[in-house]
Amino acid sequence: MIGISRNTAEIEYAVMLAVLNFQSQFMKSSYQQARVDVSDDVIHVTLTKTNAIPAEERLAQSPEGRALLEEVHTELFRSGEALLRVELERALGAAISSLSSRLDTAAGTSTITVKLAER
């Protein structure tokens, strides 16, 4: 699983810090809550925004607006994915095979999925 021998709480904390630093420094987003779920080869990080942006709330009222917000979120994430990958691999001591992010406009959450490379 993870390269460095650590307990689950240490792994969750390291991942949370890396993701929150990426979100605040690169994406310029702030979140009130971050939940990290670790399994053998997949890590899910669910982020809940601190404050909703009024323009995004209005846009999310239509299916087309939600789709547009999700598309923009995905492209913004992809543009900085390499930065997050480096930080996570450093924090985990393990290679990552894939990273993805999904925005849930209804819940106001963003979920990042980290798949670890097989050893």
Residue-wise pLDDT tens digits, 88-98 = 999 999 999 99
Domains defined for the chain, CATH in brackets: 8-116 (3.30.980)
Model pTM greater than 0.85? yes
Asked if 74 contacts 103 with a C-beta cutoff of 8 angstroms, the reply is: yes
Angle between helices 63-92 and 8-25 (to 10 degrees): 130
Report the C-alpha gap between 96 and 64 in whole angstroms: 33
Provide the pLDDT for residue 4: 53
Average of pLDDT values for 50-68?
Answer: 90
In tens, the pLDDT along 20-47 reads: 999 989 888 888 899 999 998 999 999 9
